[in-house]
Chains A and B, each alone.
Chain A
């Protein structure tokens, strides 16, 4: 067996959980992480006593793996806390699967939490981070990041391919329609294209409605080896393929602002899974900004480069459309506590289990999650499937 194929179907998600999504005033980040972890473990019929592998990342907590293990009272045999921004919790699937496959752990808990919306001292935190991690070839020009970096990508895509603000707005409107079907989503009021176009401009061409929410919230999932995945209460979601790629950190170092490294991670993940885009029944794409969804649909092979704007038009990715995308309402309308990646995995698992309620896609077999980190920097694709896909 080639190394590339060996992880296909080797592990499965057997528990998922959320906590504090929306607003969680008075809750610390590690407390939100712990609550999400506890919910995910309960979903799998497990407790913290069963966990011997711990995976997490935080934008704020130093040595987050140690902090969350201490909070939960876990003494892990395997700890991993790499941060590649919001894509981290999709990226964590790979080291977690390797650890399980090699017996370094038997039950891996992946967890995230943030009080970005109601937590105090965010302005101070931003200033400290800028002082500790200067970006001397960007910060002096005062880009309002992350929106300005994504705005530069959107502007270039519009210039090069004729993408319009209406195309971008279609993405926000579709996300809101999905959120209206999700009782756990943070923003559920009706949103029309005109509302998006007329909302406050943040960094041209992106308005506040082209930008993700700022919420609190946490999420967690539990991974085990596939051989025992059927022993848990809920139907397992098997990992079929995963791959990561990154080509830059700062937007000024991105080679072509219309092509992300998803064009590399996507094909590699599909190759591991032995699948093609047409095999995918439901997609969860990291929509920090409306342009993301368009770029990722192109780069992952769901439409040709430059055609993403037309592709998302006329409600194609909205409820009732041909391609269900971001079925929880996404980062744009459901939840976005600083890093969103874990929620991609959780929604994919819920869809594959058939427990997504009013927003449930009909009998999905294959779900694609795509994580984004930094400013279109880290791109990580993962494919999940039901038992039939093994």
Chain B
């Protein structure tokens, strides 16, 4: 078993992300993409979930600005992104003012941070 396939699906996702790979699962039974990573397909109950590269393309489904004092780092964005493959994920859209993020905005994924702190974020495309 390679390092990539050790531990549960969450661990496997993190190991890939730390290597710069944003991958999601696809169910070999119902052919739907799955995120967050699961043990069992949440749509059909199938157990054959295979890792595939995410295209990184997405659309903002909803967005909010979390208000925070400037002394604590100021306001920031939290958004829900619909991936082109179908699943939705929480993330943030960066590279613009948090209140400038709009529902329907086309975005693409980037991996920020390193190792255990690696994170999928999005920028407008």
A136 to B37, CA, bound (A): 11
Report whether A152 and B62 are in contact in the complex, using a CB–CB cutoff of 8 Å: yes
Contact of B99 among A137, A144, A159, A204 (CB under 8 A): A204
Report whether B103 and A143 are in contact in the complex, using a CB–CB cutoff of 8 Å: no
Q: Is A353 an interface residue (CB 8 A)?
A: no
Report whether B64 and A152 are in contact in the complex, using a CB–CB cutoff of 8 Å: yes
- For B66, what are the chain A residues with a Cβ–Cβ distance below 8 Å? 142-144, 148, 203
Report whether A202 and B67 are in contact in the complex, using a CB–CB cutoff of 8 Å: yes
Contact of B103 among A137, A142, A156, A253 (CB under 8 A): A156
Instruction: State how many residues of chain B have any CB contact under 8 Å with chain A.
Output: 24
Report whether A203 and B65 are in contact in the complex, using a CB–CB cutoff of 8 Å: yes
Q: Is B90 an interface residue (CB 8 A)?
A: yes
Q: Is B33 an interface residue (CB 8 A)?
A: no
- For B61, what are the chain A residues with a Cβ–Cβ distance below 8 Å? 156, 257
Within 8 A of B (CB), among A112-152: 136-138, 140-144, 148, 151-152
Q: Is A201 an interface residue (CB 8 A)?
A: yes
Report whether A155 and B63 are in contact in the complex, using a CB–CB cutoff of 8 Å: yes
Which of B14, B62, B67 gathers the greatest number of chain A CB atoms within 10 Å? B62
A159 to B62, CA, bound (A): 9
Interface of B is mostly: strand
Report whether A203 and B64 are in contact in the complex, using a CB–CB cutoff of 8 Å: yes
A148 to B62, CA, bound (A): 11
Report whether A137 and B89 are in contact in the complex, using a CB–CB cutoff of 8 Å: yes
Report whether A252 and B80 are in contact in the complex, using a CB–CB cutoff of 8 Å: yes
Report whether B67 and A142 are in contact in the complex, using a CB–CB cutoff of 8 Å: no
A138 to B64, CA, bound (A): 14
Within 8 A of A (CB), among B76-111: 76, 78-80, 88-92, 99, 103-104
> Given A148-B66, A152-B62: A159 and B103 within 8 A (CB)?
yes
Report whether A257 and B78 are in contact in the complex, using a CB–CB cutoff of 8 Å: no
B→A interface (CB under 8 Å): 10, 14, 35-36, 61-67, 76, 78-80, 88-92, 99, 103-104, 119
Q: Across chains A and B, which 4 residue pairs bring their CB atoms closest together, nearest first? A: A252-B90, A151-B64, A156-B62, A152-B62
Could you write out 30 A-B pairs with CB less than 8 Å apart?
Answer: A136-B10, A136-B14, A137-B35, A138-B90, A140-B119, A141-B78, A141-B91, A143-B66, A143-B78, A143-B90, A148-B78, A151-B64, A152-B63, A152-B64, A152-B78, A153-B62, A155-B64, A200-B67, A201-B65, A203-B65, A203-B66, A203-B78, A204-B65, A205-B64, A250-B90, A251-B80, A251-B90, A252-B36, A253-B36, A257-B80
